[in-house]
Amino acid sequence: MREARAAILLLCILLSTVLAAQRPAEIVQSEIRQANNDVPKLAEVLGLEPGMSVADVGAGGGAMSMFMARQVGSTGRVYATDIAPAQLAEMREMVSREHLENVIVVEGADRSANLSTACCDAIFMRDVYHHLVYPEEINRSLLVALKPGGRLAIIDFEPSPGSKLPDGVATNRGGHGVPPAIIVDEVVASGFTHLRTIPKWPPDSNRAQYFLVLFRKP
């Protein structure tokens, strides 16, 4: 246990050092703390074990991908995707510097995650779905990327009344965010089975800022 904690602390320091050169240190530190707390719980919900493959779609700075790489181990794979050049460059630099051979950076697109067919045992999206301009196409691409029985977890937040919609998204979101019922309707329409909705994520959070919606590919 002591060795595991020391390894996590070292990873946090390495992540902070690499990312702080490109983004404000306080943002990086917040992402690292959140990833360190959330990833073990998310891995359990997704049923991940060493040797499995998982995709972090819309990975941003890559903190969750890095911690997830520890969950699946050296024989597993993490596909870290994003569409923004700055985030892709940031993740590639980190992977190279830290010799993270089980992390593969993938350039996504507006209409597709650009993942190979049946490459993943699980996929997750955190703080991403409410930004999707073409959710129907993205959902179909995620279905194709999952193996039969694979799980998809979408973590997001409800819109605040009067908040501004992100550019290009559907007006039925009701503001900046997305109601979980809309996610369920859209993802099920793409061929997934809805397993459950966790109204507060992570479950031990002091406030219900995020929720998690869990699906399975038939």
Cβ atoms 156, 183 nearer than 8 A: yes
The answer to pTM > 0.75 is: yes
> Nearest 5°: CA angle at 158, between 210 and 205?
20
pLDDT of residue 23: 62
What domains sit in the chain, N to C, each tagged with a CATH number?
30-216 (3.40.50.150)
Residue whose entry in the numeric block shows the structure tokens 């870290």: 80
pLDDT of residue 22: 58
pLDDT tens per residue, range 100-141: 999 999 999 999 999 999 999 999 999 999 999 999 999 999
Cβ atoms 57, 84 nearer than 8 A: no
